[in-house]
Structure 1
């Protein structure tokens, strides 16, 4: 993806569809539209998946909680959502197998009755999923469960095992945007829509400002599609100030603990909490992510941060399920995201449907894709582009169900051994590269051939290479330190101390590629260091200056 080339395209071309927002739904819609042959622009005021879509629980699922609510309340809408989610689960994995895979999940139970109840529910979950490639769940004895996850509490009666999917959310969104670019879309990050131009009240163009240079351009398109998630109302009201607000934002946070907290490849589902939520403890790389919470959030201009009461809540919720209670001092990072829940008559955010809606405003002509969740991003995008095609009087069927994303076609994880033999790289590095770039590792290999020094690890005990930073700038439109450390790698989400250590070296590599001045490089490092320290302070995880980070 070449940002300068695509920015020039925004100036010169007239598009069929201009998509605002490059998270899961926006990048998915851009890929769908480009594959159908539409002329597509995709813009985002930040980086790809820089908000909600990079801060999920990393699960691809039908929704165990939704299934329980559907049965208890005879709610067909919830049941339909579970069915859609389970159908899409296998498609998400098939289309980017380097970024997504099945995940085994254990649910500890504390009585025979509870075990039977969960087994019946999860058997139904498997039945709804049909004959996909996921293993089927089963009820395990306490001994069997402890063999699989030795850090679970000895007080449990037994455990129920089932399977869902796990994925790297921000890189999946990036792969969607990258795939859209290769299918012909003009894809630009750090490009904010600040106003609309109109004829007879209807939108004909959007004023887009380059957030890095300050340059503005008028992007002309026949249809404008709003895919800005929890920020959808801002774009809707920019297009038509008379519209009612439709989004009720909800904040969810995760804490990050060392892998030895579980000492297992099996995730843990905590099905009962004091306030009716569901909490997961999920292995992700060498960490365990614990979350999420679910609370109303009205500070959309402020990044959602981990707070002390949320830390306490998650630790206390995990306590009965583990043999040893994790300590606050073990928390290595945390992150928050905002769900774009659609306003309804339901009483609280825990019961709001996560389904989606394609809204068309007759006055302005704006299309908005509202609500939804990661698992069903492809269906959401398909529905939105179907509607856009109707408005264009040019309907073309979607092709995304069997379309591989960048890095996914002919992917075999075992090819890491061939990579190791060719480039003499450590095994952990080769495995990391395969899981991150899929079949695009050959391009990284070419960089290392041209410049052998790029094979150097940036941190001795971690697999990140200098070559990756160069590749991410040249091929993946990484423009800031946070683009690399938070999204193309997931270091910021999993380890704040490591992020601070890597920042200066990553900044130097980016400076060499992007032509940063020494002062700009220093500003990037200092600003990021300040942000990381803010995370620590807001979470109440450090009170002593000596404990703060220094890059």
Structure 2
């Protein structure tokens, strides 16, 4: 979110709920994209001198918009994680196990006054927006984590489970995703679609630099030196934030504090088991482009990851606060809560 806000700070534009539905070609070359408003259904044409496909595990879908017969390049690898109460790893130190029985790394990291334990590396063929941890992954993490945590975790201790898909680039026979490189790759189609794939979170800045540098050359644009290596993204501040729960907002924390002062009810937590207050919901709508309950509980805060059941219980209150800001009615509240609850069920700990 802070990266998206930094785009606005620099005079750029970032839009959510506006998927690309097709690519525009002039002659045989990519000249833009057709995008659809996810709320109104209206479509718009956006012309561009360069189009970059940076869609992670969904890269092949965009490539096939350009070339329907394009060979798939993505080998998705699922990594799953469990969230446990802080008592399982007291203190502020993390634990890393460099070699589990399957040769992977296991870690337990203090996070938002909880503990995240992971991960796995399981090749998957079905690429979805909401991957679900598999039973074998949960068992593997619990069994191995029990050897290193302060006490043995059981399924009843799990607050939330979640999975992500790594967008690895295929190589060789693809028999093991663990053996595939995490380096990024740039591909340019005959029509000029620039795809950047692979990579990882720790190299995202260099990925962006390489992609933009290549796009400048390809489109014949003025080539300028990259300035992002030491760039301070939105929210950067030297000042310490006194409230631990608002620390993640950095320079935006005073604005959220002011919302709570203006309306004291918003200074209260929206669920007793979650560390978030109502003012954060209002801020997410006003300043972070939150449009649904899922946006707030899964992407603007970490509520869903810290406690799936508590988040489901908090959803109606969050919807109420959002509806007031967005001028939505009761039917909208019911629908957004229903949609969030369906997603959140995939994060509930197994029975």
The answer to whether the superposition gives a TM-score over 0.5 is yes
Show CA shifts across 1:5-36 (max 9, x none). xxxxxxxxxxxxxxxxxxxxxxxxxxxxxxxx
Match of 1:457 in 2: 269
Match of 2:89 in 1: 262
- Which structure dedicates a bigger proportion of its chain to helix? 1
Q: Indicate whether 1:198 and 2:11 are aligned.
A: no
Q: Indicate whether 1:359 and 2:163 are aligned.
A: no
More displaced 10-residue stretch of structure 1: 295-304 or 217-226:
295-304
Show CA shifts across 1:273-308 (max 9, x none). 121111111111121111111011111146210222
Q: Indicate whether 1:527 and 2:339 are aligned.
A: yes
Show CA shifts across 1:401-440 (max 9, x none). 12111111x3332x41xxxxxxxxxxxxx1211x221011
- For the 8 Å contact 2:282–2:325, the answer to whether it is kept is yes
- For the 8 Å contact 1:334–1:494, the answer to whether it is kept is no
Which segments of 5 or more consecutive residues in structure 1 lack a partner in the other structure?
1-173, 417-429, 543-551
Q: Indicate whether 1:184 and 2:11 are aligned.
A: yes
Q: Indicate whether 1:282 and 2:95 are aligned.
A: no
Give the drift of 1:347: 4.0
Match of 1:29 in 2: none
| C-alpha distance in 1 between matches for 2:316 and 2:182 | 40
| C-alpha distance in 1 between matches for 2:118 and 2:266 | 36
Match of 2:313 in 1: 501
| C-alpha distance in 1 between matches for 2:3 and 2:239 | 20
Give the drift of 1:526: 2.3
The one of the two structures with greater contact order (alpha-carbon pairs below 8 A, sep at least 6) is 1
Match of 1:399 in 2: 227
State which of 151, 158, 161 in structure 2 corresponds to 1:331: 158
| C-alpha distance in 1 between matches for 2:149 and 2:296 | 34
| C-alpha distance in 1 between matches for 2:129 and 2:321 | 30
For the structure 1 residues 534 and 381, does the alpha-carbon distance in structure 2 shift closer, same or farther, using more than 3 Å as the test? closer
State which of 238, 245, 250 in structure 2 corresponds to 1:432: 245
What's the RMSD between the two structures over aligned residues? 1.6
Give the drift of 1:461: 5.3
TM-score, structure 1 as length reference: 0.61
Show CA shifts across 1:343-398 (max 9, x none). 1126411111100112111x221011111000111111000111111123210111
Give the drift of 1:239: 1.0
Q: Indicate whether 1:243 and 2:243 are aligned.
A: no
Show CA shifts across 1:414-470 (max 9, x none). x41xxxxxxxxxxxxx1211x221011122233234433322332345431211111
Which segments of 5 or more consecutive residues in structure 2 lack a partner in the other structure?
none
State which of 314, 320, 343 in structure 1 corresponds to 2:147: 320
Q: Indicate whether 1:311 and 2:124 are aligned.
A: no
Of structures 1 and 2, the larger Rg is shown by: 1
Show CA shifts across 1:451-509 (max 9, x none). 33322332345431211111110110011111111111101012112212221111100
Say how many residue pairs are matched.
349
Show CA shifts across 1:110-150 (max 9, x none). xxxxxxxxxxxxxxxxxxxxxxxxxxxxxxxxxxxxxxxxx
